[in-house]
Structure 1
Amino acid sequence: MNVINKILPFALLLFVMSSCNKSNYQDGGTLDPVFKGSTFDYLQSRPDMFDSLSKVIRLAGLEQTLKSEEVTFFAPPQETIGKTIRIVNLLLKSYGKDTVYNLRQIKPAVWKKMLNRYIFKHKKSLTDYPQVDFLNVPVFPGQSYVSYGGDIMNIGVKYGDAGGVQYAGERSLYLSFIASLSSPTNSWINAPVATCNVTTSNGYVHVLRFATNLNITITGGIIVLDFTDHYFGFDPFLFYNDALDYGIDP
């Protein structure tokens, strides 16, 4: 029987959108809102959260961008990278292929493509973004922005309720990947920010929330993901496809 080596695009995948179990998540902790150094310097100062991310930035050749250009960076903690590689390895194993044990095995072009989705050529804090309501997108759609690599992304601030008053509660920043431009409001993969407005010498860092476990089920040989968890590049199946297209080094 022939084996299908590549995974179908996001729109055709089987996935679940489960409610978040807050006990499985961690926020960004207590972070100094002002850092005396560049965005890349800030990431290096927190190896507990960004060690793998710093390595990926170097592999992608984006170190100088995050050191000197004025940018807003939505920083995915290293757990998101680790979880994505675990998904890639599950897929590789299922097809009898060698697994990834070193980040360098993934081609720089893949890392660069994925990282560019988190970088924007502007300097914006939470208060600079419009409101988004994922249950009422026509009224509160957030706003589309072009990422550093040319992807169309959505960024918006979700307003919580308080005391029975709609939109009077806490505000949460979200970065969303638009998986299908033919269905721009129905294919978002959302990534919530845990800690926002870390100010560096060349921009802002907004640290994305991450899950501490890997929420998957395998049914009939099909990997089913919970997309309320954030994965590096937003869709690990597309990451896997790109890694195969560019070639995985032994």
Structure 2
Amino acid sequence: MTKIIYPIFFCSIISLAICSCKKDYYTDTGINDANFDGTIMEYLVKDSFYFDTLVRVIRHAGLESILQNEQVTFFAPPDPCFDKIIRFVNESQLERGRDSVTRFEQIKPSVWKKFLSQYIFPGNRGLKDYTQVDTLALDTYRGNLFESVDNQVMNIGVIYNDAVNNNGTPGDLTDDITLKYKGYRQLMLSYLYDFGGTFGVRWYNAPVATSDIAPRNGRLHILKYRNHTFGFYPFRFSQAADEAGID
């Protein structure tokens, strides 16, 4: 059962094997049927354009069975999110005078499993099942903390965007009417890193681009790749990969 906790440049030219080919990504994918007659894993395999690297990482990390057989909610990071974290790792490798990572398999499966588990939660939850979050008003709207399948605590909430009515005069801001929290609603998955001391807790946010895809074994939400690097806090992932040993 899901547990809810209430409050609280050299390396860049290397062609990485985690991406099978150069891709052009588009944000607007149109309107699709939310239901999918298959499992979460089968959906990801079918949509290889966005998820071929993700599928390979899932299998390398040993998490395929969960996404194939268990009732879970998965916030899926598209392939560009992995390209960005590998680039960050390679910048760290270069600073240490070490060889660049050219295959994601060079990073231990245990590291991939730990960080990929941050995106997978027990149970089936859609946008309507989460509470409001506003990072500018956290005293009032802070979402909720949830434990992932690997017992990692993450914050999940719904952003209530504002609606703006310009009274039919595009470009003229003088007559704009802003309706607070009356615009479209958007899921957001967040990692809260406690720096301690006077630095406090920093939020690393991953907004959702497409929500409420409904395979047979749970719910699938696809993250906005433009706004997210796999692992949320790149230094933390790079440090874990280094400590586990990079082949």
Report the TM-score, using the length of structure 1 for normalisation: 0.79
RMSD: 1.8
Q: What's the counterpart of residue 212 of structure 2?
A: 197
Partner SS, residue 189 of structure 2 = strand
**Change beyond 3 A, Cα 1:28–1:86:** farther
Q: 1:185 offset after TM fit, Å?
A: 7.8
Tell me which of 229, 232, 235 is aligned to 1:231.
229
How far apart, CA to CA, are the structure 2 residues paired with 1:94 and 1:248? Answer: 15
How far apart, CA to CA, are the structure 1 residues paired with 2:41 and 2:28? Answer: 17
Q: 1:143 offset after TM fit, Å?
A: 0.6
How far apart, CA to CA, are the structure 2 residues paired with 1:172 and 1:72? Answer: 16
> Identity over the aligned pairs, expressed in percent?
43
User: Which fold has the larger relative contact order, with Cα–Cα distance below 8 Å and residues 6 or more apart in sequence?
Assistant: 1
Q: What's the counterpart of residue 247 of structure 1?
A: 245
Matches within 5 A, 1:66-215: 66-162=67-163, 163=165, 164-180=178-194, 186-211=201-226
- Cα deviation, 1:70-110, whole Å, max 9, x if unaligned, reads 00000000100011101111110121101111111110000
> Does the 8 Å CA contact 1:77/1:208 hold for their aligned counterparts?
yes
**Change beyond 3 A, Cα 1:143–1:182:** farther
Partner SS, residue 179 of structure 2 = coil
> Does the 8 Å CA contact 2:156/2:189 hold for their aligned counterparts?
yes
> Does the 8 Å CA contact 1:28/1:195 hold for their aligned counterparts?
no
- Cα deviation, 1:173-195, whole Å, max 9, x if unaligned, reads 10000111858984110000000
How far apart, CA to CA, are the structure 1 residues paired with 2:183 and 2:62? Answer: 40
Letter paired with 2:142: P
Structure of higher CA gyration radius: 2
Q: What's the counterpart of residue 27 of structure 1?
A: 27
How far apart, CA to CA, are the structure 2 residues paired with 1:185 and 1:120? Answer: 26
Q: 1:196 offset after TM fit, Å?
A: 0.3
How far apart, CA to CA, are the structure 2 residues paired with 1:156 and 1:181? Answer: 22
Q: 1:235 offset after TM fit, Å?
A: 1.2
Q: 1:27 offset after TM fit, Å?
A: 2.8
Residue ranges of structure 2 left out of the alignment (5+ in a row): 1-24, 166-177
Q: 1:32 offset after TM fit, Å?
A: 3.5
> Does the 8 Å CA contact 2:195/2:201 hold for their aligned counterparts?
no
> Does the 8 Å CA contact 1:131/1:158 hold for their aligned counterparts?
yes
How far apart, CA to CA, are the structure 2 residues paired with 1:84 and 1:230? Answer: 10
Residue ranges of structure 1 left out of the alignment (5+ in a row): 1-24, 212-228
Report the TM-score, using the length of structure 2 for normalisation: 0.80
Partner SS, residue 179 of structure 1 = strand
How far apart, CA to CA, are the structure 1 residues paired with 2:195 and 2:122? Answer: 21
> Does the 8 Å CA contact 1:120/1:148 hold for their aligned counterparts?
yes
How far apart, CA to CA, are the structure 2 residues paired with 1:109 and 1:144? Answer: 24
Partner SS, residue 82 of structure 1 = helix
How far apart, CA to CA, are the structure 2 residues paired with 1:42 and 1:179? Answer: 31
Partner SS, residue 180 of structure 1 = strand
